[in-house]
Amino acid sequence: MDATLTVAVRVKPGSARARVGGRFDGPHGPALVIAVNAPAVDGRATEAARRALAGALGVRPAMVSLRAGAASRDKLFLVEGPAPELTEALRRLRDGAAG
């Protein structure tokens, strides 16, 4: 069954290596850490994080949209897809720190 999942994310722009994984306890609760190469300029880091999140969760980028935090490192994304698979993939990435 498809659902919409709200995912809290902590973006690290300008990182030397793009990576999705790890946990950050931020203002929206436990957040998934996404490091991106893109700088925090003109929404480029946000767009890179949106695409990285989609790839990590195995959904099309069109299924991921920004809900809050356009000008912040702490963001909320909405992800559409199969609920059990998304929830499990998110848990593995955030809490299991899969490389």
Quote the pTM value. 0.92
The answer to whether 78 touches 4, Cβ cutoff 8 Å, is yes
> Does the structure show a pLDDT above 50 at 25?
yes
Nearest 10 degrees: Cα torsion 94, 2, 61, 18: 10
Residue 32's beta-bridge partner residues? 9, 23
CATH, domain 2-87, list 3.90.1640.10, 3.30.1200.10, 3.20.20.140, 3.40.50.10300: 3.30.1200.10
pLDDT for the residue numbered 97? 47
Stretch 91-97: mean pLDDT: 82
Helix (H, G, I), strand (E, B) or coil at 15: coil
In tens, the pLDDT along 36-63 reads 999 999 999 999 999 999 999 999 999 9
In tens, the pLDDT along 73-93 reads 999 999 998 888 899 999 999
> Does the structure show a pLDDT above 80 at 99?
no
